[in-house]
């Protein structure tokens, strides 16, 4: 039995409830986006889930996994879809290319562009495109074009678009995407930079892309020719402590072999943050300023207490030669927030802990509560002199620059 056979009043009630909450939370700021999210039946595009799960406001619906349980495709959480549609600034009559099919987002886009517009949705997986085609046809969106193709390859027969929206986690920006944009066109993409993913709204400016907004998000990673896996460094060669590097391992990872044999250094920064305070700029600040920036994970089944992170699955970390350090937190005395601290291990851990702690204090003084860095995408091979940046991240097809102030 599909959701189309259940009580439509209950589905409408749940749909309006989740939209009401997203409006109250500020996740929906556009009346056009609010209208389409109230109109299009989300549950009809997520038949794998119960009504309650389909309309959970901050949860995705997984639609495909591999033999190992790795997520391959999903219907994004409502707040993520609302956020990206707001970033996209879709208008009637626009031509839109969606990369990463599921059906629901293409239906939203079709409503937003109207009869005068055009929506093409593509995916590398024929199972996904077949599903999207079926669901779109069943629910009145037959005018959406669905294509099975690796979107990182040339898309010469599809024309140009006012908007390219990517709904899979991307590590690189291939020329096939930027080459499909009209002058002044917009690219909205969940872009991974040094292990941190942001939904970035880019506009085309001359020969490069420049960010207008960037928000924390998480997405199923891209497949195909632009797929990119993080590299995992197992500290001391055991799976207990893993350091994940997005752009290559340290020059000599073996230097860390004896780090866990040294006493753990603990240093508290005096930087306190309240509950619910956004710290996305802290993440970006450390990614920009620390050369050996990475993410630490701990296997809870093997945890021997060598490290004591506040989040075993995601801790901001860094490596410097034979030392590594990570951020942790403890509750403030008034229990209204947390204080950031640094744990470090290695032969010169005390010195490295101070370096990392000073970067946290610099963030609190200079970046806290401020805007995110400007993110620019330049073609690979662009000379350094032409890229204003506090850090440049080299990819295969592009050079991603991060700068705290406009050029």
292-308 confidence digits (pLDDT tens): 999 999 999 999 999 99
DSSP 15-80: HHHHHHHHHHHTS---HHHHHHHHHS-GGGG-TTS-HHHHT-TT--EEEEE-TT--EEEEE--HHH
Contacts of 385 (CB under 8 A, 6+ apart): none
> Which residue in 76, 101, 199, 211 is the catalytic one?
76
DSSP code at position 372? P
**CATH code for the structural domain at 231-366:** 3.30.310
Query: Rounded CA gap, 385 and 6, in Å?
Result: 61
Query: Rounded CA gap, 298 and 8, in Å?
Result: 45
Domain with CATH 3.30.310 in the chain: 231-366
Return the ∠ at Cα 377 (arms to 376 and 379), rounded to 5°.
Answer: 145
Examine the pLDDT at 178 and tell me if it is beyond 80: yes
Backbone angles phi, psi at 96, to 5 degrees: -125, 135
Domain with CATH 3.40.50.150 in the chain: 59-226
Examine the pLDDT at 72 and tell me if it is beyond 70: no
Q: What is the pLDDT of residue 49?
A: 85
For residue 254, name the pLDDT band (cuts at 50, 70, 90). very high
Examine the pLDDT at 316 and tell me if it is beyond 90: yes
Read off the pLDDT of residues 41-71 as tens digits, 9 standing for 90 and up. 999 999 988 899 999 888 878 776 666 555 5
For residue 2, name the pLDDT band (cuts at 50, 70, 90). very low
Q: What is the pLDDT of residue 406?
A: 60
Q: What is the pLDDT of residue 65?
A: 62
Looking at per-residue pLDDT, the higher value among 351 and 154 belongs to 351
Question: Do 41 and 95 meet the contact criterion of CB atoms below 8 Å apart?
Answer: no
Helices (H), 236-380: 280-289, 349-366
CA distances from 210 to 174, 188, 192, 387, 400 (A): 15, 11, 16, 12, 10
- Out of 156-160, 230-234, 353-357, the most confident range is 353-357
Q: What is the pLDDT of residue 33?
A: 97
Average pLDDT value for residue range 240-268: 94
Question: Do 288 and 281 meet the contact criterion of CB atoms below 8 Å apart?
Answer: no
Examine the pLDDT at 6 and tell me if it is beyond 70: no
Mean pLDDT of the chain: 91
User: What CATH topology corresponds to 59-226?
Assistant: Rossmann fold (3.40.50)
Examine the pLDDT at 123 and tell me if it is beyond 60: yes
Q: What is the pLDDT of residue 68?
A: 54
Query: Rounded CA gap, 263 and 255, in Å?
Result: 16
For residue 263, name the pLDDT band (cuts at 50, 70, 90). very high
CA atoms within a 13 Å half-sphere pointing along the CA-CB vector of 276? 2
- Out of 7-21, 63-77, 106-120, 220-234, the most confident range is 106-120
Looking at per-residue pLDDT, the higher value among 225 and 259 belongs to 259
Q: What is the pLDDT of residue 64?
A: 67
Is 76 an annotated catalytic residue? yes
Examine the pLDDT at 23 and tell me if it is beyond 70: yes
Average pLDDT value for residue range 267-280: 93
* Distance from chain centroid for Cα 302: 28
- Pick from 105, 91, 75, 86: which is nearest to 26 by CA? 86
Q: What is the pLDDT of residue 4?
A: 40
């Amino acid at each position: 039995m599909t959701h189309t056979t259940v009580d439509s009043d209950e589905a409408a009630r749940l749909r309006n409830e989740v939209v009401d909450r997203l409006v109250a939370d500020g996740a929906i700021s556009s009346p056009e986006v609010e209208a389409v999210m109230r109109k299009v039946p989300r549950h009809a595009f997520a038949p794998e889930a119960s009504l309650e799960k389909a309309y959970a406001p901050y949860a995705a619906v997984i639609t495909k996994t591999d033999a190992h349980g790795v997520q391959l495709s999903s219907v994004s959480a409502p707040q993520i879809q609302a956020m990206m549609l707001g970033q996209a600034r879709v208008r009637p009559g626009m031509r839109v290319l969606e990369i990463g099919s599921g059906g629901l987002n293409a239906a939203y886009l079709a409503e937003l562009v109207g009869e005068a517009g055009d929506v093409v949705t593509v995916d590398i997986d024929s199972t996904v495109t077949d599903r999207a085609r079926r669901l779109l046809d069943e629910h009145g969106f037959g005018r959406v074009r669905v294509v099975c193709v690796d979107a990182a390859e040339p898309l010469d027969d599809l024309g140009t678009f006012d908007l390219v929206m990517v709904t899979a986690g991307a590590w690189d920006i291939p020329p096939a995407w930027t080459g499909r944009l009209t002058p002044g066109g917009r690219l909205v993409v969940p872009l991974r930079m040094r292990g941190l993913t942001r939904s970035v709204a880019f506009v085309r400016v001359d020969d490069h892309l420049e960010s207008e907004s960037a928000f924390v998000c998480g997405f199923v990673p891209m497949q195909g020719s632009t797929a990119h896996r993080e590299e995992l460094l197992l500290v001391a060669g055991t799976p207990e402590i893993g350091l994940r590097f997005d752009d290559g391992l340290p020059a000599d990872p073996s230097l860390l072999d004896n780090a866990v044999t040294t006493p753990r250094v603990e240093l508290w920064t005096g930087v306190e943050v309240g509950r619910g305070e956004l710290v996305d700029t802290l993440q970006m600040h450390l990614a920009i300023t620390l050369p050996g920036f990475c993410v630490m994970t701990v296997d809870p089944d093997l945890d021997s207490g060598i490290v004591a992170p506040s989040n075993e699955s995601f801790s901001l970390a860094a490596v410097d030669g034979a030392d590594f350090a990570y951020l942790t937190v403890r509750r403030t005395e008034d229990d209204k927030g947390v204080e950031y601290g640094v744990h470090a291990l290695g032969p010169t851990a005390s010195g490295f802990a101070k370096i990392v702690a000073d970067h946290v204090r610099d963030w609190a003084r200079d970046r806290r509560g401020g805007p995110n860095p400007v993110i620019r995408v330049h073609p690979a091979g662009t000379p350094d002199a032409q890229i204003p940046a506090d850090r440049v991240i080299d990819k295969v097809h592009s050079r991603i620059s991060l700068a705290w102030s406009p050029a």
